[in-house]
Chain A
Amino acid sequence: MTMFAPLAGIWMPSPQDLRLFGAELSLVAAIVALLVLSMLFGRSERLGAGVALAAAVAVIFFCRDAAGLVDTGARAALTPPGAASMLVADRFTVFFKLLLALFLATIIWLWMTGAAAGRTGGEVRPVPAGPEFFVLLLTSMLGMSLMVATPNLLVMMIAVETASLPSYMLAASDRRSRAGAEAALKYVLFGATTAAVMAYGLSLLFGLFGTLDLPAIAAAVSVKGMPALGWIAMAAFLVGVAFKISAVPLHFWCPDVFEGAPVEVATWLSVASKAAGLGLLLRIVAAFGGDVPATIALPLAWGVGLVAAATCTLGNLAALRQESVKRMLAYSSIAHAGYMMMAAAIPPAAAGDATVRPAMAAIVSYLFVYLLMNLGAFGVTAMVAWSQGSDRLAAFTGLGRRAPWLAVPMSICLFSLVGLPPLAGFAAKWWLLAALGQGADRHSWLWWLVFVAVINTAVSLYYYVRVIRQMFLADDERLERLAVPVGGLALANGCAVLLLLLGTVAFGLMRDRSLAYAACLARAAPESVVAAQDRLAWNGGPEGMVVNGADRP
């Protein structure tokens, strides 16, 4: 026992607390296991896939467990006594982890389909081989899980990097591909630059407020106001978040990476990276609700709204003239990130206000639908690219005849991406617009965002339909039928069926579920602000700190 004596004064999390973070712990365990196992049994891809799949299942299991635990309380936090929490577990984070885990499983499914299809070695057919592919995949997921689960700026930054670093390498996971090398280069340079700016913003925020705890900063701001430098620091910090979401003007990496990276990786990044970035943005925006005066909350909302509008407009316009379907889907994912950011632009009102919940719920349901749509569209693109050796529009010629069971689900996914009823994409868009409309009761400028969203919907039709036109309206009799792996068919058609169901009979169900998941973030934010005010003792507040910097410890 004496051996542990020095540890006596150190805080240890309770088993109860750890259980809440079983998802993250199981990811870490899987990563370690993969590294060790590949040393013991050689570099087996099957093994990698198996362990990663097991990790996804474990995450789902622990998330369901955690959902039950946080259901009763507002949220549970991994908090040493007398300190700010570094990680939180609420239903909002549970949702994101579940989403990521489900998505991870489907990505592995997609990978296995590709592996089983025999990889004919066409120019686009990459082989993200070896267990390290899965190590990287799991590590990026770990980072993404942490991104949505922390109120601490430093942990946010670490989580963003934990998610980004493996993603850079994933983009280059096909080492034979020049496009992959170029994509990774652009990705890492963009990411490193934004991360550095983010770190600088973080350091300034730390200096101004004396803490890296976001609720404490929000509390300080609501008492003392936001200094001009604070806005700059905040903006610099948000640069890192905007990079993850691929918000304009930090979106340039996105199309290059999606086009250059293997399809599995592009699919993974298109949903997971953006989802985590949005979760992070939501947490920041939600923290500035509650008691934070409108003079601070509103400019923040306007900024987010402006960026959102620019993001979805530019994304859609750039998508109009793409010939590579992967690249087109990349721009479409930028546009969809813009739609989702719009909900984050709804200014959170006073504590207990009902408006913020629909906004959160809208993003939650949108993300889920977006996952299905993108998975289906990217999945079909992958099948076509694998068998045709190209993801150009021309490769889709006559797909309606050559592979109807790919063309029909592809059309459903694309029409759903447009947001046409009776598909789930419309349901998602509807809840988003309804949230905006509800917020517009108090902030009528949100109607402008509604306008931007609906006009973009009409614009986006054009480029999605280009693919559909190529599949059904254009044909070349000389082209032969496509041999498609069964796993790919199952994936694409499964997505399509779910989209149909969610757009019709389960239209409302989705909202009920997502409201439940959004509940805790909305409730937790104001509470933690109040709690954080107690901890705001260490210095007088934000103002004047840099200006009269003569004081010494």
Chain B
Amino acid sequence: MGSITLMHYLVLGALLFCCGLLTMVVKRNAVGILIGVELVLNAANVNLVAFGRYRGAGIDGQAAALFVIVLAAAEAAVAIAIFMNFYRHLTTVDVDRGDLLRG
């Protein structure tokens, strides 16, 4: 009792995942959705590192987490750039305002 097991990390990861998913679904602000995405990616990172530490013989998990972090950073950069481009046209980043293309 008291020691932190793999289970704890996994539950944390699952919670993060749920929070992120909820954010992505609920938020109408593009930046909000992006934050949800980051939460889910970090859930994956927690899982990867925890699995790597508790189950692994090598550093595969940790290495994978590093890659995911880089991906998340790149994705955020691209996404923010696109949000700004959208903002220039509509002066908002509310995704519901993107209603030109539909059908």
Question: Which among A184, A199, A211, A256 has the highest number of chain B CB atoms within 10 Å?
Answer: A199
Contact of A169 among B57, B64, B68, B82 (CB under 8 A): B82
| Of the residues A184, A202, A212, A539, contact of B44 by C-beta under 8 Å | A202
Q: What separation, in Å, do the CA atoms of A259 and B82 have in the docked complex?
A: 17
Q: Determine how close the nearest CB of chain A comes to the CB of B41; give it in whole angstroms.
A: 5
Taking a contact as CB atoms under 8 Å apart, the answer to whether B33 and A549 are in contact is no
Which residues of chain B are near A168, meaning CB under 8 Å? 78-79, 82
Decide if A184 touches B86 in the complex (CB within 8 Å).
yes
Q: Are B44 and A192 in contact (CB under 8 A)?
A: no
What residues on A are CB-neighbors of B57 within 8 Å? 538
When distances are taken between beta carbons in the complex, the residues of chain B under 8 Å from A158 are: 67, 71
Contact yes or no, B10 A188, CB < 8 A = no
**A200 adjacent to B44 (CB under 8 Å):** yes
Task: Knowing A189-B95, A195-B75, A550-B5, say if A172 contacts B85 (CB, 8 Å).
Answer: yes
In whole angstroms, what is the CA distance A181 to B83 when docked? 8
**Contact among B37, B47, B61, B98 with A182 in the assembled complex (CB-CB below 8 Å):** B98
Q: Is the Cβ of A161 less than 8 Å from the Cβ of B71? A: yes
Provide the bound-state CA to CA distance between A166 and B87, in Å.
20
Closest A residue to B39 by beta carbon equals: A196
Q: How far is the CB of A547 from chain B (nearest CB, A)?
A: 9
B12 partner residues in chain A, CB cutoff 8 A: none
Residues of chain A with a CB closer than 8 A to B20's CB:
196
Q: How far is the CA of A532 from the CA of B5 in the complex (A)?
A: 29
What residues of chain A lie closer than 8 Å to B24, measured between beta carbons?
193, 196
Categorize the interface residue count of chain A. Answer: 35 or more
CA of A181 to CA of B86, assembled, Å:
5
Q: Provide the A128-170 mask, 1 if CB < 8 A to any CB of B, else 0.
A: 0000000000000000000000000010011001000100110
CB pair A188 B71 closer than 8 Å: no
Q: Could you say which of B6, B43, B68 contacts A549, with CB atoms under 8 Å apart?
A: B6
B15 within 8 A of A: no
User: B97: shortest Cβ distance to chain A, in Å?
Assistant: 9
A210 touches B75 (CB 8 A): no
Q: Does B22 contact A (CB under 8 A)?
A: no
Q: Are A172 and B54 in contact (CB under 8 A)?
A: no
B2 located at the interface, meaning its Cβ lies under 8 Å from any Cβ of chain A in the complex: no
Taking a contact as CB atoms under 8 Å apart, the answer to whether B60 and A211 are in contact is yes
| Further 17 A-B residue pairs, CB within 8 A, beyond A203-B51, A207-B10 | A154-B64, A157-B71, A165-B75, A182-B86, A185-B82, A185-B86, A185-B98, A186-B98, A188-B78, A193-B33, A196-B40, A197-B40, A207-B47, A255-B103, A256-B102, A259-B101, A260-B101
| Interchain Cβ contacts under 8 Å between A and B, 12 examples | A161-B71, A165-B78, A169-B81, A181-B85, A185-B93, A195-B37, A200-B43, A204-B47, A206-B64, A207-B51, A210-B55, A260-B100
| A interface with B by C-beta (< 8 Å) | 154, 157-158, 161, 165, 168-169, 172, 175, 178-179, 181-186, 188-189, 192-193, 195-197, 199-200, 202-204, 206-207, 210-212, 255-256, 259-260, 321-324, 327, 538-539, 545-546, 549-553
